[in-house]
Structure 1
């Protein structure tokens, strides 16, 4: 018969791993809790995304719109030869976007145009005051060509897409330089939809741009016609008849007066109210340097020399003063 001794206790089950098992169970519980918290967070995020409407913005290259709509409706791209109802056309673009993106809200309309020294014309000021519209200006060179507009479009389009401010962008333009803007926005997940204006023959949008966008849409003559009106007084300034060398009738006094107000807005924007205060005591006369600048700028806008039309030059000065006096 064998007797146990204190030095040699009877056999007992091995329990040296019990603390490790408890530790493992604790780790698993912590992981499970973390997974549960992550699932809850994802559920809340998905619910928020599901209840947050998509957002779209409309990017309008005004130079393209004027040229394409003018050519389609009145047969000329010369902006001096017709009037464009920008407010009505912008509303039409907004309504069209509402039907195309029914579950999306409008962020705003970006209207890109050119202006000398980036100073708003009277027309551009009116557009800038419209609700949900932001006017962005590039420069106009000596040949009245826009400079810097494409880079403005790219900057805005890329920034809004990067910050997830928009999910869809309606781009109205045709220049191949806009391809990089489209690629940048798409790289951040935004969809870019190219809208254009019907061309009488061929295309007025670059093929690489058409290839890059997510969808395309073209507005026809019936869509554009209500917003474009030919200016009878501007038809045409070029020589009439072949080889006659005679010009058509000059514009009316009201047209020239309006141009005078446009130049005044540019002049005031460039020089400020201090210069206006110095000018007012001389009314109705203008200093020679200001009068010469007014004439040069007006002739550039009109596309016509006023040197032989004293009555129109008086109307031009009247329009200039009309605008300045309303600003004092």
Structure 2
């Protein structure tokens, strides 16, 4: 009679590789070990995340802030009519964020503005020198309208959210074009909080933007008032003989030459289709500069203002 070990199918002892039960147990043991190692890794990662503070950033559409704060406090959107204490206002935004995001650290403040040929003005340079502030510039067209600012905001918001550099974004603006920036950041898990400035009348933020954000906050007159100062209006004495139409026309041509040299032919090409009308900001600049050169007010002198515009247009058309 042969030994049991000689009978096919009966294992010789423990650990026999021919035993399917033993192979299954070994595989299960390996899987269990792998799961345990994975769980340990996850626990270490969660512990590291728990020790890492949340981070927030503030995104400021300067065009919106100037227009909304100027209208609320000084009664005008025209930047030339008031001074904005940008440094003080930025610090106030940082303090407000510190209160709202109490367990979070500030990454930086992004200040988006427009400039001719994206060349910093002296005011923008001083803002750029502030700690924790990054100035990003779009273009200004011939009508003093910002171009490219919304795309800059979207690019920064989306990039920071995608790389998990921020968990919360305070967005100060009102343009409907910012909706795509909000959606992009939210798609990567960031929360976007819309901050606005109280409107003198109605609303100054697009409804679709209000619908998309995670929270909303509005700064009132008392908050904004310390940072906006209306400039004194220069008064000219109407003493002596009034300038002739030819005098005023000549001044208009002088101003046109300066305007063309600073703005360039691209701005001229944008302006010409509107002849004989000038965009509001350009017309206002023309009037203010002419009054400065003539040392005389042209308000209430419709004929002289027409002569001024004629001189301005004649020079521009002669250079086209």
Per the shorter chain, which TM-score range?
0.7 to 0.9
> Could you give the per-residue CA deviations for residues 219-269 of structure 1, whole angstroms, max 9, x where no partner exists?
0000000000000036xxxxxxxxxxxxx439xxxxxxxxxxxxxxxxxxx
Matches within 5 A, 1:211-290: 211-233=211-233, 248-249=235-236
Give structure 1 stretches of 5+ with no counterpart: 235-247, 251-288, 312-328
* 2:191 paired with 1:196: no
Give 1:24 deviation, angstroms. 2.1
Q: Which of 305, 317, 327 is the matching residue for 2:289? A: 305
Give 1:25 deviation, angstroms. 2.3
**Scaled by the length of structure 1, what TM-score is found?**
0.71
Confirm or deny: 8 A CA contact 1:172 1:196 kept in the other structure: yes
State how far apart, in whole Å, the 1-side matches of 2:46 and 2:133 are. Answer: 32
State how far apart, in whole Å, the 2-side matches of 1:216 and 1:98 are. Answer: 16
* 2:33 paired with 1:33: yes
**Scaled by the length of structure 2, what TM-score is found?**
0.73
State how far apart, in whole Å, the 1-side matches of 2:106 and 2:291 are. Answer: 48
The residue number in structure 1 matching 2:22 is 22
Give 1:202 deviation, angstroms. 0.8
> Could you give the per-residue CA deviations for residues 81-109 of structure 1, whole angstroms, max 9, x where no partner exists?
00000000000000000000000000000
What SS class does the counterpart of residue 29 from structure 2 fall into?
helix
Give 1:28 deviation, angstroms. 1.8
* 2:83 paired with 1:83: yes
State how far apart, in whole Å, the 2-side matches of 1:205 and 1:30 are. Answer: 59
Give 1:21 deviation, angstroms. 2.8
Matches within 5 A, 1:133-152: 133-152=133-152
Give structure 2 stretches of 5+ with no counterpart: 238-253, 264-280, 296-320
The residue number in structure 1 matching 2:124 is 124
Confirm or deny: 8 A CA contact 1:80 1:302 kept in the other structure: no
Aligned residues: 253
What SS class does the counterpart of residue 233 from structure 1 fall into?
coil
> Could you give the per-residue CA deviations for residues 40-99 of structure 1, whole angstroms, max 9, x where no partner exists?
100001001111000000000000000000000010000000000000000000000000
State how far apart, in whole Å, the 2-side matches of 1:126 and 1:308 are. Answer: 27
**RMSD over aligned Cα atoms:** 2.7
Matches within 5 A, 1:130-209: 130-209=130-209
Confirm or deny: 8 A CA contact 2:4 2:10 kept in the other structure: no
Confirm or deny: 8 A CA contact 1:191 1:214 kept in the other structure: yes
Give 1:33 deviation, angstroms. 1.1
State how far apart, in whole Å, the 2-side matches of 1:83 and 1:308 are. Answer: 20
State how far apart, in whole Å, the 2-side matches of 1:119 and 1:11 are. Answer: 94
